[in-house]
Chain A
């Protein structure tokens, strides 16, 4: 006995697919639609990673930088720079957030002092002078004391090139605008446009005091072939040996600078990916349904093959080949579709993208798409594949092929769904870069499917009851069909309900947030937010504000510190450690950055203790005990801190030990000064620091006049217009919501294709029955009405329950993530229910027209 040719089974599989073109096309289109969004996002993410990887040196403007919040000591720098290879180039850079003013306007900006050499990589482009070179930098910034500003600042201050702005104690002429800056980042939400000054001119502003939050940087261009990782280790070891402020020097490599810039977009991409996964899921449901019906009709052919000598394994192999062909084909179509979606993403996410970013389809994305298509279709159809076990060639001697019941044990059925669960979970975790978010997503999706499935089951049972009592024959037949074609009806219901859930969920969450933060008459939200107030400015500032007839609220001290140890163990982050998940990334972020501490005698009305006890009113230095601190509850969860943990802080070179005494929930959207870590009074009062405060109840003209007065009298104090910031945040959120919504529409489109496929298939499967009805005298309109009743019932209930579950989920998410900002907008819910019902009926109508219009004679022939 010989083996068949190597391609025998694959060729046979392909021929069967070609012979069943309609099924194959529906399967391909259905799955491709689900995969398209996912693939487009993967390509987008890959493109972004590539862009950031390739441009990371331009983003930092160097290979590596040393950063400090204090000016570098010459001696310290000499020691560190001795570690660099010869011929390393260096340049200086300083930056801080402050206010700039014109005669009648003022704005928060980020001023950056640079000198010749910056940037070592990438090109900074000015509107008039073109690409920045050492000569025009020297002429304009260093010698003439001019400034280069971002164009939006000129727009905000109603200025033109040549106009003048006051920064600190010095006036600067704006010589040009920066139209391309590779180092620009999204982190300031566009609220603080950048102004470039000459490095030495920064001193003249009078803002570079020890009390200002200035970032000092030394940027280095290394010689070709330098071992960056080795250099970083040497530098870090040396910094660890320093004492005092020198030990706070940080090393920033170009790779990390790139990662930092991409982080926010990464978060958004994660969530877009999860939404796209729902489309994959819906498409998977449709594909599994179509495949199940296809397979049942192929049982006879399988029996014939087995009677001719094919083994069951060979039959499985042939079906697996078919799934691989279909999955790969769907992936190829999805790749073509994603070429249409991909250019839309940079348009939607323009605000968040680095300059010069271009999307491209990468080879890795293509391979991922093909693997996902092939493996995904196998995994989705695995529960259906188990039915092949029931195929018995001896049934060829009887005439009941395809009708045999599947007597799978419960555990076998559960096992057949296990790969699907594992794949979904793996994809979700990978997509969200978070064990927690990914697991929560799959958990919620699974719970929704189970809940909606149970509800669908109940509705179909009810339909069965109604079929015995309700009205006209067609109505009774419609209800009976619903009850008896459960797999089709439940698949339709799930596809519609999950789509509705998704479409409704995103705006539902957003509306709650929007309502809360943009409520104009809510005086809990301040008008202006002040920071960098020096202790000696407190009295004069209060006086100025009383002259303006406003009051400074929630005045809070802020002291910078570094967390060095937790329960005696070092808390320092490894400089080049690669974060695998968003949680790790977040922990690293907190580990690498300084903390802002505060202290207060009473909690503000936006804070609430959730566990532990209140902090003692005053600290006794003679007690020898650690001080008591309160941690924000989410921060403590992220960092895995527990009540009773001993934290060791370096507060301006003074070691302070503190014990975690309670966890607080903070309502961040109150826009009041709030802190992750609060000390009990009596510990930090003597430490050098600044104050924050807020001013409430100002209309737009008063906001401007009060802000201008503060800037005029206290140039170092920074002021944020909270109303403007809220508007800006909402605008950015709008973009995010639009992107998420578009992805959600893709999901509902996938759901509708499922409905179309199922409706068409159900009607074709019932040709004989429909034909009989026609022969018995049913009119076309009667039969059409019967189909419409079925899909209206499915649409209404799917819409209703989809909306209901979305409300429950949005409430849960709002409660958990957004401090209970939840508001039901019944208009959206109602529109969803009506829309989904209409679409369901419309799509079913479209899918069944051709079949229903066939004459009874042709139907008889088919039967």
Chain B
């Protein structure tokens, strides 16, 4: 099992309203190579769950174990390192560094940790997403679909144990969205990576082996 969530709660303080519970007593188990979709309406807690899974936020209570390690028990430094080695994240807004080329964007997470082969691996990742010929282009020179493919390459270049995708096609038109989704699922399939996809797109969710619906902070 790669991911194990037990009794996960997350609440936020809200002025004048005490605490707002966003996630309530969540339980989830994800096996290696599994593709899981978390669906739900806006405000259901999808993004909050994703930020907890990515180790970008801490739960209020409960347990969140990734690759057998309790994330909440890790120090900030350890968590950063763990994330860099094990978790690939794809954002809805792509979030590429505007002043870096496609290749530099992809090699960035490797260079940050001094990998000697960062260039080769980044080129390989770009090739996997079909953008080898666009490696010297800057984000503003790329289309939305291309930008998201670069973002996918950046996420997979570290060969993560789990890939977290937040509405990966949410910012793209239908046709491009389908192309990007095809690419994503093909990559996951061939590399055997675990995918946890957050979306409100039911078609996309159905391509996963399992769908979990989040409603008012709990799985239904």
Contact surface of A with B, Cβ cutoff 8 Å: 1-5, 8, 15-16, 18-20, 300-301, 303-312, 314, 392-394, 396-399
Q: Which residues of B contact A18 (CB under 8 A)?
A: 99
A301-B97, A392-B56 known; A397+B80 contact, CB < 8 A: no
Q: List 27 A-B contacts (CB under 8 A).
A: A1-B84, A1-B113, A2-B114, A2-B115, A3-B114, A4-B113, A8-B111, A15-B100, A16-B99, A18-B99, A19-B99, A303-B95, A304-B95, A305-B108, A306-B56, A306-B80, A307-B56, A307-B83, A307-B89, A309-B80, A309-B84, A309-B85, A312-B76, A394-B54, A396-B91, A397-B50, A398-B47
Q: Which residues of B contact A314 (CB under 8 A)?
A: 112
Which of B77, B98, B108, B114 is within 8 Å of A5, CB to CB?
A: B114
Q: Which residues of A contact B76 (CB under 8 A)?
A: 311-312
CB distance from B4 to the nearest CB of A (A): 21
Q: Which residues of B contact A311 (CB under 8 A)?
A: 76-77, 80
Interface residues of B in 33-51 (CB under 8 A from A): 47-48, 50-51
CB distance from B52 to the nearest CB of A (A): 9
Contact yes or no, B57 A309, CB < 8 A: no
CA distance A305 to B100 in the complex (A): 12
Total A-B contacts with CB atoms under 8 angstroms apart: 83
CA distance A211 to B112 in the complex (A): 85
User: B109 on the interface (CB 8 Å rule)?
Assistant: yes
Which of A300, A301, A309, A312 is within 8 Å of B112, CB to CB?
A: A309
Q: Which residue of A lies closest to B85 (CB)?
A: A1
CB distance from B158 to the nearest CB of A (A): 8
User: B81 on the interface (CB 8 Å rule)?
Assistant: yes
Q: Which residues of B contact A19 (CB under 8 A)?
A: 98-99
CA distance A311 to B97 in the complex (A): 17
User: B72 on the interface (CB 8 Å rule)?
Assistant: no
A1-B81, A2-B113, A3-B113 known; A308+B108 contact, CB < 8 A: yes
Contact yes or no, B56 A308, CB < 8 A: no
Q: Which residue of A lies closest to B84 (CB)?
A: A309
CA distance A3 to B77 in the complex (A): 13
For B87-109 the 0/1 string (1 means CB < 8 A from A) is 00101010111111000000011
CA distance A18 to B99 in the complex (A): 8
CB distance from A755 to the nearest CB of B (A): 28
Contact yes or no, B83 A309, CB < 8 A: yes
- Tell me which of B54, B80, B115 has the highest count of chain A C-beta atoms within 10 A of its own C-beta: B80
> Which 4 A-B residue pairs are closest in the complex by CB-CB distance?
A309-B84, A19-B99, A2-B114, A394-B51
Q: Which residues of B contact A304 (CB under 8 A)?
A: 95-97
Contact yes or no, A310 B99, CB < 8 A: no
CA distance A18 to B111 in the complex (A): 20
Which of B57, B81, B85, B99 is within 8 Å of A15, CB to CB?
A: B99
User: B166 on the interface (CB 8 Å rule)?
Assistant: yes
CA distance A299 to B111 in the complex (A): 21
A8-B112, A307-B56 known; A396+B85 contact, CB < 8 A: no
User: B121 on the interface (CB 8 Å rule)?
Assistant: no
Interface residues of B in 129-177 (CB under 8 A from A): 154, 166
Q: Which residues of B contact A310 (CB under 8 A)?
A: 80, 112
Q: Which residues of B contact A306 (CB under 8 A)?
A: 56, 80
Contact yes or no, B109 A309, CB < 8 A: yes
Q: Which residues of A contact B98 (CB under 8 A)?
A: 19, 301
CA distance A2 to B83 in the complex (A): 14
CA distance A3 to B110 in the complex (A): 10
Q: Which residues of B contact A15 (CB under 8 A)?
A: 99-100
CA distance A314 to B57 in the complex (A): 19
Which of A5, A16, A397 is within 8 Å of B47, CB to CB?
A: A397
Q: Which residue of B lies closest to A309 (CB)?
A: B84
CB distance from B66 to the nearest CB of A (A): 15
Q: Which residues of B contact A305 (CB under 8 A)?
A: 97, 108, 112
Q: Which residue of A lies closest to B109 (CB)?
A: A308
14 further A-B contacts with Cβ under 8 Å, apart from A301-B98, A394-B57, are A3-B113, A4-B111, A19-B99, A20-B99, A301-B97, A306-B80, A307-B89, A309-B84, A311-B80, A314-B112, A393-B54, A394-B54, A394-B56, A397-B48
CB distance from B101 to the nearest CB of A (A): 10
Contact yes or no, B99 A5, CB < 8 A: no
Q: Which residues of A contact B112 (CB under 8 A)?
A: 4, 8, 305, 308-310, 314
Which of A1, A312, A399 is within 8 Å of B93, CB to CB?
A: A399
Q: Which residue of A lies closest to B198 (CB)?
A: A397
For B60-85 the 0/1 string (1 means CB < 8 A from A) is 00000000000000001100110111
- Tell me which of A18, A20, A309, A394 has the highest count of chain B C-beta atoms within 10 A of its own C-beta: A309
CB distance from A112 to the nearest CB of B (A): 70
CA distance A640 to B98 in the complex (A): 64
- Tell me which of A5, A311, A394 has the highest count of chain B C-beta atoms within 10 A of its own C-beta: A394
Q: Which residue of A lies closest to B95 (CB)?
A: A304
Contact yes or no, B81 A309, CB < 8 A: yes
CB distance from A529 to the nearest CB of B (A): 72
Q: Which residue of A lies closest to B57 (CB)?
A: A394
Q: Which residues of B contact A300 (CB under 8 A)?
A: 95
CA distance A529 to B131 in the complex (A): 93
CA distance A192 to B100 in the complex (A): 71
Q: Which residue of A lies closest to B46 (CB)?
A: A397
Q: Which residue of A lies closest to B50 (CB)?
A: A397
Q: Which residues of B contact A308 (CB under 8 A)?
A: 84, 108-109, 112, 154
Q: Which residues of B contact A396 (CB under 8 A)?
A: 56, 91, 93, 95
CA distance A3 to B50 in the complex (A): 28
Q: Which residues of B contact A303 (CB under 8 A)?
A: 95
Q: Which residues of B contact A392 (CB under 8 A)?
A: 56-57
Q: Which residue of B lies closest to A2 (CB)?
A: B114
Q: Which residues of B contact A2 (CB under 8 A)?
A: 113-115
CA distance A131 to B199 in the complex (A): 95
CB distance from A13 to the nearest CB of B (A): 11
CA distance A394 to B22 in the complex (A): 15
CB distance from A21 to the nearest CB of B (A): 10
Q: Which residues of A contact B80 (CB under 8 A)?
A: 306, 309-311
Q: Which residue of A lies closest to B114 (CB)?
A: A2
Q: Which residues of A contact B154 (CB under 8 A)?
A: 308
A307-B54, A392-B56 known; A397+B113 contact, CB < 8 A: no
A15-B100, A304-B97 known; A397+B51 contact, CB < 8 A: yes
A1-B113, A5-B114, A8-B111 known; A397+B99 contact, CB < 8 A: no
Which of A4, A16, A394 is within 8 Å of B114, CB to CB?
A: A4
Which of A16, A20, A307, A309 is within 8 Å of B113, CB to CB?
A: A309
CA distance A192 to B99 in the complex (A): 68
Q: Which residues of B contact A5 (CB under 8 A)?
A: 111, 114
CB distance from A277 to the nearest CB of B (A): 35
- Tell me which of A8, A19, A308, A398 has the highest count of chain B C-beta atoms within 10 A of its own C-beta: A308
CA distance A312 to B77 in the complex (A): 9
Q: Which residues of A contact B108 (CB under 8 A)?
A: 305, 308
CA distance A15 to B76 in the complex (A): 27
Q: Which residues of A contact B50 (CB under 8 A)?
A: 397
CB distance from B133 to the nearest CB of A (A): 23
Q: Which residue of B lies closest to A16 (CB)?
A: B99
Q: Which residues of A contact B109 (CB under 8 A)?
A: 308-309
CA distance A8 to B113 in the complex (A): 10
CB distance from A619 to the nearest CB of B (A): 81
Q: Which residue of A lies closest to B100 (CB)?
A: A15
CB distance from B124 to the nearest CB of A (A): 18
Q: Which residues of B contact A16 (CB under 8 A)?
A: 99
Q: Which residue of B lies closest to A14 (CB)?
A: B99
CB distance from B198 to the nearest CB of A (A): 9
Q: Which residue of B lies closest to A3 (CB)?
A: B114
Q: Which residue of A lies closest to B98 (CB)?
A: A19
Q: Which residue of B lies closest to A312 (CB)?
A: B76
Contact yes or no, A397 B81, CB < 8 A: no
Q: Which residues of A contact B113 (CB under 8 A)?
A: 1-4, 309
Q: Which residues of B contact A397 (CB under 8 A)?
A: 47-48, 50-51, 56, 91, 166
Q: Which residue of A lies closest to B88 (CB)?
A: A308
CA distance A397 to B85 in the complex (A): 20
Q: Which residue of B lies closest to A6 (CB)?
A: B114
